[in-house]
């Protein structure tokens, strides 16, 4: 077992344990009631994990249940690319040429960069993370070595739970009970913590990834809607079939340590707007805990 993998494994294992052991470090009953209320309101299954980076205290509700990973995988995907950049295997200045046949649904950035025009991988990751561009994500997957390379990166974070089996748009199918392309709220939160605050990425790469997430242009209706004035957030959202909706985030209260949040919704007939409102309401309950 190499040093990076071992360090990541220990970090994620510690986070997962702390999420359970310290689940009552604050009023988890209120949080649990809020999530259960949203489940009833949407007729959905909802999983939540929250982690205070200052002391490891946390909360989870259905934190070990599997949910469709949706586009939240794009943050981890670009973390995988940045790890290879740190190892000097790849460069963010490398470019790709995208042909019309490469385009998949929802590609607002890459559809403007068709051959013979080239686009740098730095811009592809920004497109994937900040704009949830699906073609950009697929090009990055191919560049790092395919879905197997993505899964190896997750393992380097100590995450043996999260898995990617398909690319966009099939990754978003979200069939109930299907293990493919899934994660758990606790695994996603722990892996986000390990990726941005651990030693798997260089400080510069972790900061760049966080900046892409802070620039998320498609997340205003979720946690950002209820974010208190003066706070900041770095997030990545996702959506897919069978009512799946998701977000992973780092929340930065003023003069406080950051908090990690992951929320996954599945198996509901609620509209996208209703799912977004549900996540925003959960933010209204979560944010006071972080003050």
Q: Which residues are catalytic?
A: 71
- CA separation (Å) from 262 to 107, 117, 171, 236, 265? 25, 37, 19, 10, 10
- Whole-number Å distance between alpha carbons of 178 and 165: 11
* Non-local CB neighbours of 123 within 8 Å, separated by 6+ positions: 109, 113
Alpha-carbon dihedral angle through residues 264, 266, 270, 274, given to the nearest 10 degrees: 0
- Whole-number Å distance between alpha carbons of 98 and 112: 10
Task: Please tell me whether residue 170 adopts helix, strand or coil conformation.
Answer: helix
* Non-local CB neighbours of 148 within 8 Å, separated by 6+ positions: none
Hunting for tokens 């998320």 — which residue is that? 216
DSSP string over 187-230? HHHHHHHHHHHSSSS-HHHHHHHHHHHHT-TT-TTTGGGGPPTT
Hunting for tokens 């070595």 — which residue is that? 145
Structure tokens at 195: 């990726």
3-state helix, strand, coil in the chain (%, to 5): 45, 15, 35
Could you say which DSSP state residue 114 is in? B
């Amino acid at each position: 077992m190499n040093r990076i993998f071992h360090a990541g494994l220990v970090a994620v294992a510690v986070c997962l344990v702390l999420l359970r052991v310290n689940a009552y470090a604050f009023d988890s009953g209120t949080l649990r009631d809020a999530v259960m209320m949203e489940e009833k309101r949407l007729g959905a299954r909802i999983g939540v994990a929250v982690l205070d980076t200052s002391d490891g205290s946390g909360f989870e509700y259905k934190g070990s249940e599997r949910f469709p990973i949706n586009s939240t995988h794009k943050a981890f995907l670009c973390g995988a690319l940045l790890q290879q950049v740190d190892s000097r295997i790849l460069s963010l200045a490398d470019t790709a040429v995208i042909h019309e046949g490469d385009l998949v649904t929802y590609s607002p950035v890459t559809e403007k960069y068709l051959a013979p025009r080239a686009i740098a991988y730095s811009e592809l990751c920004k497109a994937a993370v900040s704009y949830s561009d699906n073609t950009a994500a697929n090009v990055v997957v191919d560049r790092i070595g395919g879905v197997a390379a993505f899964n190896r990166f997750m393992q380097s974070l100590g995450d043996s739970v999260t898995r990617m089996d398909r690319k966009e748009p099939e990754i978003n199918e979200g069939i109930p009970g299907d293990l493919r392309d899934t994660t758990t709220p606790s695994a996603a939160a722990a892996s986000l913590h390990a990726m941005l605050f651990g030693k798997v990425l260089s400080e510069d790469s972790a900061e760049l990834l966080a900046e892409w997430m802070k620039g998320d242009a498609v997340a205003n209706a979720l946690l950002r809607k209820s974010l208190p004035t003066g706070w900041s957030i770095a997030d990545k959202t996702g959506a897919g079939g069978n009512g799946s909706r998701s977000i992973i985030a780092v929340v930065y209260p003023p003069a406080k340590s950051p908090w990690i949040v992951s929320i996954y919704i599945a198996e509901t007939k609620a509209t996208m707007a209703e799912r977004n409102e549900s996540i925003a309401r959960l933010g209204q309950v979560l944010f006071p805990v972080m003050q």
